[in-house]
Structure 1
């Protein structure tokens, strides 16, 4: 049984700014940190994704403080870092090849925002054949108006994005389920090695 890779999406300082707007899931960062700690403790693969804007003046423009990782999510020296210019972390980044070279077929995605980079990345992951989980309480979204001009709360945006993904491109889970699955995969991997399973 394979250990999945944890994909931490866009946990940059610009996402913590009040200027980003009204958001949901205030516990999301704590849950992300729990997952990151568990993956690191297990020696399991971790990928940190950083958005680098091509729009001058953006808080994610290279060299701006907003483009830097939040301290809790600063990559360790051996972690793989992906820099992207569009919401989807697979586009023009080499991430798909990096995963395939290591035989990784299972992904657990956390980060921000649920309806933008997380949803875009999970859709592509599913279409590429990766068994993908998105952790509902380790992601968050921002309030916005829908196409008809109606204001939608951050919760509404978040849950609709997850509904778009679940059962189509990914499986939506909670932090405790992701942690339990990691523990189960580690146990099975250890048994496979012990008994020489291939």
Structure 2
């Protein structure tokens, strides 16, 4: 919980005046087969463009620290990554609506003592002050204490099933959080970590686990 509170504070301090932008959720997100994404169902998040890495997975900050884990893009183009589930802010929604707050959770077990829900965070030793996507996020309980854990899926790209993931939570009425598209930061060792970028979103598509 301490890390979550610190991450939330960082979000407010960096761009406190960032406008909270939302789009009316009037349609469902579709997978690559044209079917609406279902809540609490396993999917893979895959890149739209080939030759720039594979599916979304987990990776440690470096080879000497196996924990904690962060959200990353697999370097292998043919890799589907790890399966994930989506939980919309309204638990009655069975389909995943566009531009609506949701939790994203890896459906895997890890050696690290942390949940696998996505959460906006930072590297303590990263002088760039970049914001990365880590895990340890909780499911549900929308509000200021969980503001780091809420993401959205928005339409992007030219393809019918192309999307981007956005951090711009609307679960706190009086908060003005930083907003940004989720993109890829490539570290010196080649690890492709997901984080917030201003103009280079990672365009993705969703494949239901067989």
Quickly name the TM-score band, shorter chain normalised. under 0.3
TM-score (normalizing by structure 2) = 0.23
The answer to which structure has the higher strand fraction is: 2
| Larger-Rg structure | 1
